[in-house]
Amino acid sequence: MSFKRWKIVLFVFSLAVLFLGATARSQAQQTDFFIPQVVDGGGYRTLFTVTNLSASTVAPFTIQATFDPAFGGGPAAILSIPGQTGGQASASQTVAPSGQITISTVGAAGGVKVGWAKISTPATVGVSAVFLVVDGNGNVASAAGILPQPSQPTFTVIGMIKSSAKTGVAVLNPSNVDAHATFKLLDANGSQVSTDKAMTIPGLTKIAQFFDEGSLFAGVTNFDGSVAISSDVPLQVLSLRLDFPSGNVATLPNLPGRTGVPLQHADASFSWIDATPAGGGGRIALGTDVNSTDVNGKTTNIAFPFSITMYGRTYGNTPFDQMSVSEDGWVSMGNGFAATPTALPSATLPPGLVAPFFANFHYNNTNPNVGVFSRVDGTLPNRRFVIEWTDVSFVDSSLGTSARFEVVFFEGTSDIKFQYQVVGNNPAGPGIVVGIQDDTRTQAVSVDRSSNPPGANKAKTLQYFGGTNYTLVQN
């Protein structure tokens, strides 16, 4: 049975919210607490009990519950406020010193809707909660406490997929921007099981799934381990366990995210890095090339200035590792050759291909101001390696006269950034490829140039989220 079905058929939340915190915190500071899971309708309700633990100070708070359209919800007046008639989508209340107030969803007629709640208060706060499961007759079947925690970018939760029990999560993105989250399944020995799964969670929306469901780890059975969750935006995560055949549900504690280098991403803003000698870079020698009909795609091999990781594989670990650089606007993680741009992924193109602007180019190698240049800038462990194609000429004159673009590799992250200053007059035309592919030549991110062609003073960043998961972000 899917996690969504359990939410819609079985789950009711009774949340006793107790405000407690360090007395030294300023009363003017607002604290927000998000409850990742709320249910209403079909005879079910969610109860929120707010208790003021101060014996001398009134505790004001605001509560708002939101239905998620992805789970059958929509704008609705869902809160029943003591002393008021009808329902409201939000409420501002105060709790007397040592007092208590209970607010509930209205138990609307019709189908069950699910969403989340936000409680805000300028008081010093802490939160506790009780989670109730009821059967079709309204009898309590099981109960579990919810341990609240702040929004975080990384979590470790229990992952169990067995015939007797399984676990899942409700993940809420409480921000207004998209969150790119990665789920990594690890067994009891710390070994990875299955391919990492990446999800984009839009702002102010949620996902709720068992770990053996389709968009996560379908096909995994008899598993007992953990799931590492990481995101570029802090999330709220509620972890649940469902037992069979009893149907009992329990909330599980979330552990801190695994230690290591935090997931950091290069942005997609345009910020040109000059790799020519004027900017502190040097020329990459590719031989003499003065023939405007040359389509041979001259390449050379250069050393890695630091280790570069792409699609989970690290290159440049030894002095023998080489990167191929082509006059035709691409590089590869190893010895490679390609004369003709081909749609990605392609078995005829080099493995570990990075193509900011793969086209047939040529240039006069006797002109010191044109050609291919490279530069390393920054300081360890946050260096950048830039390869720049400057004023290289199109062999196909219908694409334009020349182009100027670059690729940027980042130390400590698998992100890859493409930047463009000059792109000719037809960057969406034939004979151009923009994108990357892995070392197996089966996984790729290919930029659709009909809708997102390279543009002057624009950038495209491929952000890495584990496994084979790259996400294209562009300005």
Question: The domain containing residue 196 runs over which residues?
Answer: 152-256
Domain end: 84, 113, 146, which one? 146
What is each CA distance from 377 to 191, 273, 383, in whole angstroms? 35, 9, 6
Q: What is the CATH number of the domain that holds 162?
A: 2.60.290.11
Dihedral Cα 101, 105, 106, 109, nearest 10 deg = -170
Domain identity same for 283 and 432: yes
With a cut of 60, say whether residue 243 has pLDDT above it: yes
With a cut of 90, say whether residue 392 has pLDDT above it: yes
* 404 or 195, which is more confident: 404
Domain identity same for 130 and 166: no
Cβ–Cβ < 8 Å for 223, 160: yes
Q: Which residue, among 388, 355, 383, has the nearest Cα to 278 in the 3D structure? A: 388
Query: 145-159, 307-321, 402-416: which has the highest mean pLDDT?
Result: 402-416
At 138, the pLDDT band (50, 70, 90 cuts) reads low
- DSSP symbol at 285: P
What is each CA distance from 332 to 112, 326, 400, in whole angstroms? 53, 9, 25
Element containing residue 180 per DSSP (H, E): strand 179-187
Q: Is 263 inside any structural domain?
A: no
The lowest-confidence range among 220-224, 227-231, 327-331, 371-375 is: 227-231
Q: Which residue, among 50, 53, 43, has the nearest Cα to 10 in the 3D structure? A: 43
- DSSP symbol at 71: G
User: What whole-number distance in Å separates Cα of residue 394 and Cα of residue 450?
Assistant: 19
Q: What is the CATH number of the domain that holds 8?
A: 2.60.120
Write out pLDDT tens, residues 24-59: 333 446 778 787 877 777 666 777 778 888 888 888
pLDDT for the residue numbered 128 = 56
Domain identity same for 64 and 110: yes
Write out pLDDT tens, residues 418-468: 999 999 999 998 889 999 999 999 999 999 898 889 999 999 999 887 667
Q: Is 261 inside any structural domain?
A: no
Write out pLDDT tens, residues 269-323: 899 999 999 999 999 998 766 666 665 678 999 999 999 989 878 898 877 789 9
With a cut of 60, say whether residue 5 has pLDDT above it: no
Element containing residue 8 per DSSP (H, E): helix 3-9
Element containing residue 392 per DSSP (H, E): strand 384-394
CA gyration radius, the chain: 28
Q: Is 15 inside any structural domain?
A: yes
Domain end: 210, 225, 256, which one? 256
Domain identity same for 175 and 132: no
Coil, helix or strand at residue 5? helix
The lowest-confidence range among 126-135, 224-233, 344-353, 405-414 is: 126-135
CB atoms within 10 A of CB 429: 16
Provide the pairing of β-strand 371-377 with 282-283.
Answer: antiparallel
Domain identity same for 127 and 165: no
User: What whole-number distance in Å separates Cα of residue 258 and Cα of residue 106?
Assistant: 40
Domain identity same for 181 and 296: no
Q: How many domains does the chain have?
A: 3
Angle at 172 between CA 167 and CA 176, to 5 degrees: 160
Mean pLDDT computed over 179-195: 85
With a cut of 50, say whether residue 12 has pLDDT above it: no
Domain identity same for 87 and 105: yes
Write out pLDDT tens, residues 49-104: 788 888 888 888 888 888 777 666 565 557 777 766 556 667 788 888 888 888 77
* 181 or 357, which is more confident: 357
Token pair for 193? 């099981």
* 389 or 20, which is more confident: 389
User: What whole-number distance in Å separates Cα of residue 192 and Cα of residue 225?
Assistant: 10
Cis bond before residue 345 (omega within 30° of 0): yes
Classify residue 367 by burial, with Cβ atoms within 10 Å: 0-12, 13-18, 19+.
exposed
What is each CA distance from 435 to 71, 75, 418, 445, in whole angstroms? 35, 40, 9, 5
Domain end: 256, 286, 316, which one? 256
Q: Is 267 inside any structural domain?
A: no
Q: Is the dihedral of CA 287, 291, 296, 371 positive or negative?
A: positive
With a cut of 90, say whether residue 131 has pLDDT above it: no
Per DSSP, the residues of 159-215 read EEE-SSEEEEEEEEE-SSS-EEEEEEEEETTS-B-S--EEEEE-TTEEEEEETTSTT
> Buried (b) or exposed (e) across 226-241, using 16+ Cβ within 10 A?
bbbbbbbbebbbbbbb
- Which residues have a Cβ under 8 Å from the Cβ of 51 and sit 6 or more positions away? 16, 17, 18, 19, 95, 99, 100
Q: Is 262 inside any structural domain?
A: no
Mean pLDDT computed over 352-356: 97
pLDDT for the residue numbered 474 = 81
Mean pLDDT computed over 1-11: 39
Q: What HEC string does 221-253 produce?
A: CCEEEEEEEEEEEEEEEEEEEEECCCCCEEEEC
pLDDT for the residue numbered 136 = 61
Which pTM does this prediction carry? 0.55
End-to-end Cα spacing for the chain: 42
pLDDT for the residue numbered 323 = 94
